[in-house]
Amino acid sequence: MHFEFLALTASIISSTLVSAQSASVTLKQGVYVGSTRSFPSSAVQVNQFKRVRYASQPERFGPPKPVAPSSQQFEATGNAPSCPQGALGIQSEDCHFLNLWTPANAGTNSSKAVMVFYYGGGLQVGGIDQGGRYDGANLAANEDIIVITPNYRVNLFGFPGIVQGIPKDGRNPGFLDQHFVLDWIQENIAAFGGDPKRVMISGQSGGGASTSFLLMSSPSPKFHSAVVESGSGYLFASDWSGLENVLTGGAMPARALPDNFKTLAAGINCTTGDETATLDCVKKAPVRALQDASAAAKLQWGPAPDGGITVPDDLDTAHKEGKIAKVPIIAGTTSKEGGLFNIRASITEFGKAVAAGNTTLEQMFADAYTFGTGEKFANEADAKVQVMTDMMFTCLTAHEMELRINGGETSIYRYFFSAPSPPRGPVHGADIPYLFGTASTTDPSSIELTQTIQHAFANFAKDPAAGPGWAKFGATDGMGIAELGGAGNRGGSKEMKVQDVDGRCNMFFPRYERSFVPLKGLV
């Protein structure tokens, strides 16, 4: 699933870079010299450290490696290259960097809460320096927490799949990067004033799915809470065969397929008959040659089961057997996720694909998404947006969180973001500028909503037992989802009926039953 990025990155509250001041921190791997920023909205200044290395450059497709000890001084003010992908700025395989923002008053004994945010991009694209989209300074200043955004490998470099010569526990280098960041934080965060016992993981879209997978592969987690935004591991670990003709326009989730790597190797003349030699040939090939061959064959690269190191062999079983991180979780979606995508299929085509011959289910589908004058949706375009929103986001989140509730977990919270959010409404990704304080608006209710979301997430990082400020999912009869930015309370939250959000999910659960069976040849 290749998500385009929304152009919503102007600042709600302007920041000032205090160029006369610098900030430094001494780690085993060297001395990093950053900068200090101030905000009119906060008395707290923020020390900003960019391009901080968390791992040495690994071998292609290999696991991340620790940074060697050093007394060298590094400038921590420039942008980091993105890991290799499509056309997104400067790229390099030497991309294992993170950006970090910490209150300037933080000392080594401050024990500030830490929020780690994994970017989105469908596991195909993404990077920590995208025109300020993931600038954590405003959030750190307003909420007195440490914010970290790390790079991780994507597409074929992060998810090569099942390949002879790559061990099963190494099938997902991109996810290994994400785990490795948490190891680095445990060792180094105190030097920035952070508390290694108060680390919250979070992410949106592909980063939300990444957070979901971290929750499924960390029975002894190095984090104490999580926020999953518009993403689920189920999106990438399921078999969506039969939906290829309706999930177009960039909306088909990337899935590891057994022949992907062989197709790639053939495209660059690396097929040798000896699989070890083939892997060595691909490892030595230029990045551009690999990218061109992958694009020519229209390959997408997704996570593969690796025995639960980063992806369980069966996600439902992992939940039912309790082989997961049992920590407080916030999970949310936007009301019009599907509005980001170019959906070509008709409602009728969607219904037939989902029902797969079940005429009763097909009729239920048609009844649920009626459109026209006096119907549930004004037009077919709106109905199709809702189908995508329900099937690929809302109902997968509902399934995953309900598994946790059924397993006895009690600290699960959900939200439903529905703020108008110009220019396209509450589509996939529209909530990110509110979290980071970069939404382009001077509207008082939007500014208040930024404060509401920042405060809720930061409080969850500081003390998840206290909750984000709304009721637990399933805690009250029929209620338990917080609407953020909804009509009547644009700047805050109000409780919603679960039925109003998940009411159409029963139509998709039969399809999920077929989709969640591990694809033959991958386990």
The DSSP line for 450-512 is HHHHHHHHHHHHH-GGG-SSSPPTTSSTTEEEEEES-TT-TTSEEEEEHHHHHTTGGGTHHHH
| Contact present, 222 and 114 (Cβ < 8 Å) | no
Buried b (16+ CB within 10 A) or exposed e, 433-459: bbbbbbbebeeebbbebbbbbbebbbb
Query: At residue 475, what is the residue type?
Result: A
Token readout for 37 is: 């920023």
What pLDDT score does 517 carry?
56
Catalytic residue numbers? 205
Query: Which of 137-146, 204-213, 243-252 shows the lowest mean pLDDT across its residues?
Result: 243-252
pLDDT tens profile 278-325: 999 999 999 999 999 999 998 889 999 999 999 999 999 999 999 999
| Contact present, 118 and 88 (Cβ < 8 Å) | no
What pLDDT score does 478 carry?
78
Block residue for tokens 């386990």: 523
- Whether residue 3 has pLDDT greater than 50: no
Over range 245-273, report the average pLDDT: 82
Over range 228-251, report the average pLDDT: 81
Mean pLDDT value across the chain: 90
Burial (CB count within 10 angstroms: exposed 0-12, middle 13-18, buried 19+), residue 296 = exposed
- Whether residue 43 has pLDDT greater than 80: yes
Q: Which residues, listed in sequence order, are joined to residue 484 by a DSSP beta bridge? A: 417, 493
Rg of the chain, C-alpha, whole Å:
22
Buried b (16+ CB within 10 A) or exposed e, 47-66: bbbbbbbbbeebebbeebee
Domains, in order of start, for the chain = 107-120+139-256+301-523 (3.40.50.1820), 260-296 (no CATH)
- Whether residue 348 has pLDDT greater than 70: yes
- Whether residue 519 has pLDDT greater than 80: no
Query: At residue 293, what is the residue type?
Result: A
| Contact present, 438 and 132 (Cβ < 8 Å) | yes
Instruction: Tell me the percentage of the chain whose pLDDT exceeds 70.
Output: 93
Taking CA atoms, 113 is separated from 145, 223, 264, 345, in Å, by: 5, 11, 43, 45
Burial (CB count within 10 angstroms: exposed 0-12, middle 13-18, buried 19+), residue 487 = exposed
Q: What φ, ψ does residue 368 adopt, rounded to 5°?
A: -75, -25
- Whether residue 74 has pLDDT greater than 90: yes
- Whether residue 521 has pLDDT greater than 60: no
Look at residues 284, 208, 196, 300 and name the one whose alpha carbon lies nearest to residue 248: 300
What pLDDT score does 18 carry?
42
- Whether residue 390 has pLDDT greater than 70: yes
- Whether residue 486 has pLDDT greater than 90: yes
What pLDDT score does 95 carry?
97
Rounded Cα distance between 512 and 244, Å, is 15
- Whether residue 241 has pLDDT greater than 80: no
Q: Which residues, listed in sequence order, are joined to residue 371 by a DSSP beta bridge? A: 377
pLDDT tens profile 317-344: 999 999 999 999 999 999 999 999 888 8
Confidence of residue 237 (pLDDT cuts 50, 70, 90): confident
Three-class DSSP category at 363: helix
What pLDDT score does 510 carry?
80
Over range 159-176, report the average pLDDT: 95
DSSP H helices in 151-227: 155-158, 173-188, 206-216
What pLDDT score does 443 carry?
86
| Contact present, 199 and 292 (Cβ < 8 Å) | no
Confidence of residue 12 (pLDDT cuts 50, 70, 90): very low
Q: How many CB atoms lie within 10 A of CB 22?
A: 14
What pLDDT score does 474 carry?
79
Q: Could you tell me whether strands 42-53 and 97-103 are parallel, antiparallel, or unpaired per DSSP bridges?
A: antiparallel
pLDDT tens profile 414-458: 999 999 988 889 999 999 999 999 887 788 999 999 999 999 999
3-state SS, one letter per residue, for 462-474: HCHHHCCCCCCCC
Query: Which of 63-72, 170-179, 435-444 shows the lowest mean pLDDT across its residues?
Result: 435-444
- Whether residue 9 has pLDDT greater than 70: no
Taking CA atoms, 236 is separated from 209, 258, 338, 393, in Å, by: 8, 15, 17, 12
Q: Cβ contacts of residue 182 below 8 Å, gap of 6+? A: 116, 199, 201, 214, 222, 223
| Contact present, 210 and 188 (Cβ < 8 Å) | no
Rounded Cα distance between 3 and 186, Å, is 31
What pLDDT score does 86 carry?
80
Confidence of residue 14 (pLDDT cuts 50, 70, 90): very low
- Whether residue 7 has pLDDT greater than 70: no
What pLDDT score does 13 carry?
39
